[in-house]
């Protein structure tokens, strides 16, 4: 090889992979690489249309992709290294599974012969690790098939009901020369969401029209299918009330929380819910147990209509009178077409006045409610709150105004640390929004490496860490356990597994290159937010709250 005649790189499978991604509209890959991804990284230099987002832990790569997919509704692609990288990404892949995010996880595997010999970083049947979390898992067997294999994963991810998919690619295959064309969406993508059955819509409409005081519980899938407007129209037509899913199922808002028809998170003991003659569960999981419910979740006398794009979700934990499989917007519109006009009813349950103001504690310790109010002060219709704050969750979901489905995004997976990366992916995909990640200190420690990516790419997410220096959820569980055993809660300070004090989160953030403040007074948050936003980059505010606040109080 001479300077005059540079070697023109042969087209490799890695090129075909990238061409395929670009044809599907994928412009970013979230990667935590090892040696097995070298050919892919090299090929990205030949395809400047694909941006490589480097991360320093797989949990960050996967949660970033999930956040990105939630913002765009289109596939987001992660590239991990061997079964080890895949393992490190699984917990947040569970969040993508539950949110039906079209996250496609590629995993670089060792050359096929090295796999066969139990070589370094190999595990027979690596795909089995991904299997419980994805719709499709496949390890490519031949170089000529890899691009098509990828397209089949992308296709699976975007077909309803949506969800993640996994593809393993051996290093030898990735490096191989390739004549196969890119596998664009034309050959593979099918838009064929299920239409609701008209006869079942007839039946559901009759039931809802006949019942007194109908209630709609609107879930994350209704938001994903852009059903918010139709839900409100339906509530008006029925003279009914709209709830969002309860905390354990809630992933994003569907209707504005200020709307007079909106009554809060669903609670079977809410007077409007308890008195309902019919309940329409629209695109919600209905219901997710944390511990056994111990009480009925639906009014005994109410008729129940459950609609969801995924038949597996319908009637999973409760009785159903009419089940409708289908896109929730089409279901809501179909019901509207079948319902007679009737005067706006009396069942609006909206708490239009908003939450009551919060009194400060005499000892000056910041309360979670004060923190929520401070966030509300700086949040507007352009703000997206990425919520991952465990015992502060109820206060956040019930205390923050939600203007649109983009106002509040969370996970029901329980996978701590998800918000650290998801906020970055969401912000990249929605550069015009102001993303605020509200996380707990325990959560922070599950994803501090996200700050490295935030700083590297100057992603202007504001992290707000509610630092109670406790695993408060563990303490709350211990108190419940003692109550079940007929004992007093005892002294919280003696609970093992509760105290996680000792870290200066603002100092850690600064070490990662993120501008940070540690605060003790919630009322200082808005000014700090305004100051830090002037940096134009990522920022973090740590606010110290009461270690013994075990959370759970709605507003």
Query: 455 to 514, contacts with its own copies by CB under 8 A?
Result: 455-456, 471, 473-474, 476-478, 480-482, 484-488, 494-497, 499-500, 502-513
Q: Which stretch binds its own copies (CB under 8 A): 140-148, 265-273, 397-405, 449-457?
A: 449-457
Q: Which of 39, 159, 176, 365 binds its own copies (CB under 8 A)?
A: 39
Q: How many CA atoms lie within 13 A of 102 on its CB side?
A: 23
Q: At what angle do helices 82-99 and 58-72 cross, to 10 degrees?
A: 30
Binding to its own copies in span 131-190, by CB under 8 A: 132, 171, 175
Residue 48 interacting with its own copies (CB under 8 A): no
Do the beta carbons of residue 399 and residue 405 sit within 8 Å?
A: no
Q: Which of 48, 76, 43, 31 is nearest to 428 (CA)?
A: 76
Residue 308 CB, nearest approach to its own copies (Å): 13
How far are the Cα atoms of 84, 115, 132, 328 from residue 126, in angstroms, in the given order? 9, 10, 12, 36
How far are the Cα atoms of 169, 232, 313, 471 from residue 292, in angstroms, in the given order? 42, 32, 18, 22
Q: Which stretch binds its own copies (CB under 8 A): 64-72, 116-124, 235-243, 366-374?
A: 116-124
Residue 88 CB, nearest approach to its own copies (Å): 5
Residue 52, helix vs strand vs coil: strand
Nearer residue to its own copies within complex by CB, 7 or 343: 7
Q: Which of 20, 63, 88, 470 binds its own copies (CB under 8 A)?
A: 88
Residue 404 CB, nearest approach to its own copies (Å): 26
Residue 355 CB, nearest approach to its own copies (Å): 26
Q: What are the two backbone dihedrals, phi and then psi, of residue 534, each rounded to the nearest 5 degrees? A: -65, -20
Binding to its own copies in span 508-547, by CB under 8 A: 508-513
Residue 172 CB, nearest approach to its own copies (Å): 8
Q: Which stretch binds its own copies (CB under 8 A): 179-187, 221-229, 360-368, 443-451?
A: 443-451
Q: Which stretch binds its own copies (CB under 8 A): 79-87, 197-205, 299-307, 327-335?
A: 79-87
Nearer residue to its own copies within complex by CB, 424 or 478: 478
| DSSP symbols for 163-188 | --EEEEEEHHHHHSB--SPP--HHHH
Binding to its own copies in span 221-250, by CB under 8 A: 248
Q: What is the 3-state secondary structure (H, E, C) of 118-159?
A: CCCCCCCCCHHHHHHHCCEEEECCCHHHHHHHHHHHHHHHHC
What is the C-alpha separation between 210 and 233, in angstroms, rounded? 18
How far are the Cα atoms of 1, 109, 115 from residue 125, in angstroms, in the given order? 41, 11, 10
Q: Are strands 103-109 and 136-139 parallel, antiparallel or unpaired?
A: unpaired
Binding to its own copies in span 300-359, by CB under 8 A: 316-317
Residue 465 CB, nearest approach to its own copies (Å): 12
Residue 189 CB, nearest approach to its own copies (Å): 28
């Amino acid at each position: 090889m001479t300077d005059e005649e540079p070697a023109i790189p042969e087209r490799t499978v890695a090129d075909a992979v990238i061409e395929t991604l670009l044809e599907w509209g994928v412009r970013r890959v979230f990667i935590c690489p090892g040696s097995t991804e070298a050919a892919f990284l090299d090929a990205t230099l030949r395809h400047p249309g694909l941006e490589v987002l480097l991360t320093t832990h797989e949990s960050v790569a996967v949660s970033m992709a999930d956040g990105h997919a939630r913002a765009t509704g289109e596939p987001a692609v992660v590239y991990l290294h061997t079964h080890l990288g895949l393992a490190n990404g699984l917990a947040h892949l569970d969040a993508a599974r539950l949110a039906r995010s079209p996250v496609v996880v590629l995993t670089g595997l060792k050359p096929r012969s090295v796999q066969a010999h139990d070589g370094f970083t190999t595990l027979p049947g690596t795909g089995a690790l991904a299997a419980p979390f994805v719709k499709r898992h496949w390890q490519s067997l031949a170089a000529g098939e890899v691009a098509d294999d990828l397209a089949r994963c992308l296709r699976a991810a975007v077909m309803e009901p949506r969800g993640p998919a996994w593809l393993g690619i051996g290093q030898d295959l990735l490096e191989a020369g390739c004549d196969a064309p890119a596998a664009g969406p034309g050959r593979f993508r099918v838009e064929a969401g299920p239409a609701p059955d008209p006869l079942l819509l007839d039946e559901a409409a009759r039931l809802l029209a006949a019942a007194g005081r109908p209630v709609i519980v609107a879930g994350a899938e209704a938001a994903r299918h852009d059903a918010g407007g139709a839900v409100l129209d339906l509530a008006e037509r029925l003279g009914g009330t709209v709830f969002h899913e309860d905390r354990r199922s809630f992933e994003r808002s569907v209707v504005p929380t200020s709307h007079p028809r909106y009554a809060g998170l669903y609670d079977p003991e809410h007077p409007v819910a308890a008195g309902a003659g019919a309940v329409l569960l629209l695109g919600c999981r209905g219901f997710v147990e944390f511990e056994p419910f111990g009480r009925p979740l639906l009014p005994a006398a109410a008729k129940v209509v459950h609609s969801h794009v995924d038949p597996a979700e319908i009637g999973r934990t409760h009785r159903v009178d009419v089940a409708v499989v289908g896109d929730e917007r089409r279901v809501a519109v179909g019901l509207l077409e079948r319902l007679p006009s009737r005067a706006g009813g009396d069942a609006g349950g909206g708490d239009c006045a908003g939450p009551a103001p919060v009194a400060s504690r005499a000892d000056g310790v910041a309360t979670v409610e004060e923190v929520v109010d401070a966030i509300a002060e700086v949040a507007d219709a352009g703000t997206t709150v990425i919520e991952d704050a465990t015992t502060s969750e109820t206060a956040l979901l019930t205390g923050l105004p939600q203007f649109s489905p983009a106002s509040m995004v969370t996970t029901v997976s329980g996978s701590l640390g998800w918000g650290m990366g998801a906020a970055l992916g969401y912000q990249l995909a929605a550069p015009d929004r102001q993303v605020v990640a509200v996380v707990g200190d325990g959560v922070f420690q599950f994803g501090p490496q996200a700050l490295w990516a935030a700083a590297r790419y100057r992603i202007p997410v504001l992290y707000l860490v509610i630092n109670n220096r406790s695993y408060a959820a563990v303490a709350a569980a211990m108190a419940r356990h003692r109550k079940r055993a007929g004992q007093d809660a005892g002294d919280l300070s003696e609970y093992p597994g509760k105290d996680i004090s000792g870290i200066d989160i603002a100092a850690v953030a600064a070490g990662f290159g993120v501008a940070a403040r540690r605060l003790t007074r919630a009322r200082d948050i808005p000014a700090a937010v305004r100051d830090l936003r002037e940096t134009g980059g990522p920022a973090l505010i740590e606010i110290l709250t009461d270690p013994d606040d075990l959370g759970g109080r709605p507003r």
